[in-house]
Structure 1
Amino acid sequence: MRIVTWNINSLRLRLPLLARLCAELQPDIVCVQETKVPDDLFPADAVRKLGFAHIQHRGMKSYNGVAILSRVALVPLDDTPDWCARSDCRHIAASFDLGGQPVELHNFYVPAGGDIPDPEANPKFAHKLAFVDEAHAWFTGRDNRRTILVGDLNIAPLEQDVWNHRQLLNVVSHTPPETTRLLAWQACGFVDAMRHFVPASEKLYTWWSYRNRNWTEANPERWNRGRRLDHVWVTPDLMASLRDMTVLREARDWPTTSDHAPVVVDFTP
């Protein structure tokens, strides 16, 4: 079972890149964020042609949006909250069969939070903190077994998740109010599947800014200014099923691509 999570930054715009990803990786399930398409305009026929007969999507015009594209049957989970009472299409969930038992799959797009790391001065940052607090509380109150959580969580929680820990401590996505909240959410019943394969002492990124046009230059001190904003968490009972993890870094260099790279995780029953 191969699951990919990718902030695609406009599904309709990047359908050819989704097709390329699927041709190269042959994923069983793709979770996408920032689809930026309302439900009535979702390109379901084009997605089915890529081999995904089972589709769950929740979207709105121009902003946000999440979807689960699957070759295996999905059972929608409809009891998820309206986060922060905004109905802004940031979470979708379904279950599927893995090894003869159901597994819950949650796909999140956490608010980015704007530029000012002050909830009093920046309502976007306040929204981000409130969203993570609500998600933490909701999962704390659930029976979290056989669960996978993926998505663009828009927070790089560890020192080696950013290119320079000290310089980014006051930059939104790596501030202590964000990182402590995200790690508390994770600790309510999840294990960081990406760091299972790449130790926390090693650099690991999934996002590189569009502003960094020279990101592929040979000198890593100049180009490799990334952050790990995309995540895969699993409950401890699924740890034995983890087989491999890859950040498809080369996809960040595809023409007209997203600023996020896809993350690929392989499971066995």
Structure 2
Amino acid sequence: MSGISIATWNINSVRLRAPSVAAWVAEADPDVLCLQEIKCLSEQFPEEAFREMGFRHFHIRGQKGMHGVAIASKLPLEDLPDEDLCPRSEARHQRVGVAGFELHNFYIPAGGDEPDPAINPRFAHKLEFLDKLESYFAGRAAAKTPLVLVGDFNIAPYEHDVWSHKQLLKVISHTPVEVDALERIRQAGRFSDVARELIPMDEKIYTWWSYRAKDWKAANRGRRLDHIWVSPELHDQAVAGGREALKVWDNVRSWEKPSDHAPVVLQLEL
């Protein structure tokens, strides 16, 4: 079988961290790289630096100073219309056609600090965004289009996706209302959460570690916020490579001036 490697990485400013991306790409060699929180306008994306990494095709949804998503690919991309899934029309979603499937790249809102939508507009926005995703993918499920969803979902859904399930139940990213909303989206689109298809539920998986920790590795208070999902049409291809098909590059979190997220890569057999 031939395959395609798909990477997702919240880069937390693509212009600042382009050298780190280049160093990582030289080692990981992804075919398609989906970035979130690029923090620049579309025309400010450092395309030349990415061309030097071997990418030739780009799809950018930028925003001044914040948010923003981008896809850099070694394979041709088909530009697909925006679906206006963000209630505030922020640059948090894009979709393209690549290698015979439809690829969605998401940067779901973090939601602020107080898990009460009545007093926290940022959390209310997050929940509204999730509701829109549920409706959207429920409406598309019957079409049986091969879909891959990646990105920073800003939700760690399962007990061992966080360093302490009990202590984080009231912390945004792991509250029951968010976890339930994400599960409704997964069920609406009949998606498979590839990481948990390949790695047992009782095994810890993290993709994010706070900047607040003096020594992130020693503390290891992580969360799995970055995800790769596939629709039923691609399930077998996503799991064909076994556990080794999915990798969290957590060593990158120790590099100089790192993002607080690590890249996640799936080898999808086609």
Distance 2:114 2:120 in 1: 6
8 Å contact from structure 2 (residues 79, 95) kept in 1: yes
2:203 maps to which residue? 202
Shift of 1:50: 1.1
1:227 to 217, 220, 223: 223
AA matched with 1:53: R
Distance 1:42 1:216 in 2: 31
Is 1:9 aligned with 2:12?
yes
Q: Which runs of 5+ in 1 are unaligned?
A: 218-222
Is 1:160 aligned with 2:160?
yes
**CA RMSD, aligned part only?**
1.0
Distance 2:71 2:161 in 1: 26
Is 1:31 aligned with 2:34?
yes
1:267 maps to which residue? 268
Stretches of 4+ moved more than 4 A in 1? none
Distance 2:260 2:117 in 1: 26
TM-score (norm 2): 0.94
SS of 1:37's partner is coil
- The alpha-carbon distance between structure 1 residues 2 and 259, as it changes in their structure 2 partners (threshold 3 A), is same
Identity of aligned residues (%): 49
Distance 1:131 1:163 in 2: 26
Shift of 1:80: 1.5
Distance 1:208 1:42 in 2: 26
- Residues 56-85 of structure 1 deviation map (CA, whole Å, 9 limit, x = unaligned): 00011110000011000000111422521x
8 Å contact from structure 2 (residues 156, 225) kept in 1: yes
Distance 1:169 1:20 in 2: 36
- The alpha-carbon distance between structure 1 residues 144 and 205, as it changes in their structure 2 partners (threshold 3 A), is farther
- The alpha-carbon distance between structure 1 residues 109 and 144, as it changes in their structure 2 partners (threshold 3 A), is farther
SS of 2:208's partner is coil
Distance 1:253 1:107 in 2: 25
1:103 maps to which residue? 101
After superposition, residues 1-269 of structure 1 pair within 5 angstroms as 1-84=4-87, 86-97=88-99, 102-142=100-140, 143-188=143-188, 189-217=190-218, 223-242=219-238, 243=241, 244-269=245-270
SS of 1:202's partner is coil
Shift of 1:109: 0.1
Shift of 1:216: 2.1
Shift of 1:260: 0.3
Shift of 1:144: 4.3
Q: Which runs of 5+ in 2 are unaligned?
A: none
